[in-house]
Amino acid sequence: MSGGKATNTDLKNADASITYDAIIVGCGVIGPCVATGLARKGKKVLIVEREWSMPDRIVGELMQPGGVRALRSLGMVQSINDIEAIPVTGYTVFYNGEKVAIPYPYKADIAPVEKVPKLVRDGNDKVTEDKTIHVKDFEEDERERGVGFVHGKFLQNLRAIVAEEPNVTRLQGNVVEILKNGHNEVVGAKVDIDGRGKVEFKAHITFVCDGIFSKFRKELSTDHVPTVGSSFVGMSLFHAKMPSPNHGHVILGTEHMPILVYQISPEETRILCAYNSPKLPSDVKAWMTKKVQPYIPESLRPSFDEALAQGKFRSMPNSYLPGRQNNVIGMCVIGDALNMRHPLTGGGMTVGLNDVVLLMKKIGDLDFSDREVVLDELLDYHYERKSYDSVINVLSIALYSLFAADSKDLKVLQKGCFKYFKRGGDCVKLPVSFLSGVMPRPFLLTRVFFAVAFYAVYVNFQERGMAGFPVALIEAFSILFTAARVFTPYLYTEMIG
C-alpha cells in the first residue's frame, strides 16, 4: 500500500493557530480509523503520535471476522492487503489430546455489512488480490473470515490510509496534557514536539486513543483504572507445521493453562501461553519447559523446541476495564483506553473498530462546534455499543475462567464445554458466532453459556454413574453456582454498571 511517507519536518509543522474539528491522541489501530472516518466526513483533523515508525508488538495480531466487517464498513479493509496476512477460517480446540474444529459462521446467517456513508467509496470495502489474501476467498466464500498478521505491518497500512486524507494533519510528538477550560471542558491538547517545544493545539473535540497503557483515560474519571489478573508469555515460531492450517488453535488440558497458536505470516506463527498471575515466573524458560512444552501438538514441537532453546520470550498483561460513559464535554475516550477485555478470544480490535463504526454513525455528520449536541450523542453511543461489546467482553472473561480451570468445578465446566463443542450443529454455530464478533446478542449468550453449564452437569452425572449419583447431585449445585459466579457479575457490569 502506498502513501504514509513523510519527512521529520512534515510531521512536526502542524499549525497551532487554528481550531481543528478534532484532535486524535494516538495512532495505533483505532486512532487512524477515527481520523480517516472524520476526514471523509469533511472534518479537519489533527492526529498526534509519539513515534510514526513501525512498532514491534505481540498484541493485535489476530482479527476476528467482526473486526474485518467493521473495516469494510469504514472503507479501510484493504489495510489487511500486501502485508502477507494469513486468512483465518475458524478455530481448532484441543483438550487432553482430542480436538474439534470450529469453523466461522456462514455469511447468510448474519446481517450484511453496513456501509457508512461517505466512508465507503470506489470499492474500498473489498479486499484486493495479493500473495496471501485472495478476492475469491474473502468476497465469494460462503463463510466469514478473520485474518492474522504482523501487528506493525497492519498498523503501517492504517497509517498510510490516513496519510492520504487531505483533511488530516499528522504530527509527531508526545502529548503531555489534555487542555481544559475553566468549566472543566476539554479544549485540546498540549504536545511536546522535538525542536518546537511544548505547543498547545485547540479542537472542538479531542479523541483519546492511546491504548492499553493510556495516560489520559483518567481524564474521564480518576477511578477508570484497569485490573490485571494474568499474563501471556509469547514466542515466535518459524516455519511451524500447523495442525489445522488457517485456523486459530486453543490448546486446553487439565494439567496446564490455555495455549494459543495462530499464524501471522507465511514464515511466522505466534504462540501465547497463559500464566495465571500478572507477575511472570522468575525462570520463564524453566516454566515453559515444564508446564507448556509437554502439551504442544506433535507437529508444532520442532519449531516450538527451537524457539524455546533461543529463549526469546515476550510478555503482555491481560487487563480488564469496563467501558464507561464519555460525559466530559469536548472529549471522547475510545479503544483500549476506554474498554479492555481478556485477549484470549482476540476481540479487542473487533470491539474498538465497531466502536468507530458506531461513532461515525452517531456524530460523524454533526457540527463539532455544537459541543452539547455532540455530548448528547456520545451519551447515547455508550448504551448502543453495549449490544456487541458486552458479548465479546463477557465471553472473554468467562472462557478464560473455564479454560484456565483452577478449581474442581471449573475443570468440570472445561470438559463440559469441550464435549458441548463436539456435539456440532448449534453447539458450535452459536458459540463461534459470539467468538467471531458477529452476534451482538448478550442475552442469547447468557442462554448458551448456561446451556454449556447444564451440559457439563449432565456429563458429570454420566461419568459418576448410578453409584455416584448423590455426589454428582451435590456437585451439580456447586458447578452451576461457579458458572454463575464467573459469568453473571461481568454481564451485570457490562450491561448495567
Q: Where residue 3 falls among pLDDT bands split at 50, 70, 90?
A: very low
Q: Is 246 left (phi over 0), alpha (psi -120 to 50) or beta?
A: left
Nearest-angstrom CA–CA distance, 406 and 254:
9
Asked if residue 57 is part of any domain, the answer here is no
- Domain tally for the chain? 2
* Nine-digit cell string for 458: 449432565
pLDDT > 70: what percent of the chain?
A: 98
Asked if residue 401 is part of any domain, the answer here is yes
pLDDT, average across residues 175-192 = 97
Look at residue 7 and tell me whether its pLDDT is greater than 70: no
Look at residue 6 and tell me whether its pLDDT is greater than 90: no
Asked if residue 43 is part of any domain, the answer here is no
Here the CATH number for the domain that contains residue 238 is 3.30.70
Query: How many other C-beta atoms can be found within 10 angstroms of the C-beta atom of residue 326?
Result: 23
Asked if residue 39 is part of any domain, the answer here is no
Helix, strand, or coil here: 253? Answer: strand
| Same domain, yes or no: 401 and 490 | yes
Range of the structural domain that residue 417 is part of? 389-495
Asked if residue 75 is part of any domain, the answer here is no
Domain boundary residue among 293, 319, 345? 319
Q: Pseudo-torsion of CA 255, 258, 264, 266, nearest 10°?
A: 20
pLDDT tens digit sequence for 299-333: 999 999 999 999 999 999 999 999 999 999 999 99
Q: For residues 259 and 93, is the Cβ–Cβ distance under 8 A?
A: no
Asked if residue 211 is part of any domain, the answer here is no
Asked if residue 86 is part of any domain, the answer here is no
| Same domain, yes or no: 404 and 314 | no
Asked if residue 275 is part of any domain, the answer here is yes
Look at residue 1 and tell me whether its pLDDT is greater than 70: no
Domain boundary residue among 319, 343, 367? 319
pLDDT tens digit sequence for 9-36: 689 999 999 999 999 999 999 999 999 9
Closest CA to 86 of 306, 231, 240: 240
pTM of the full predicted structure?
0.96
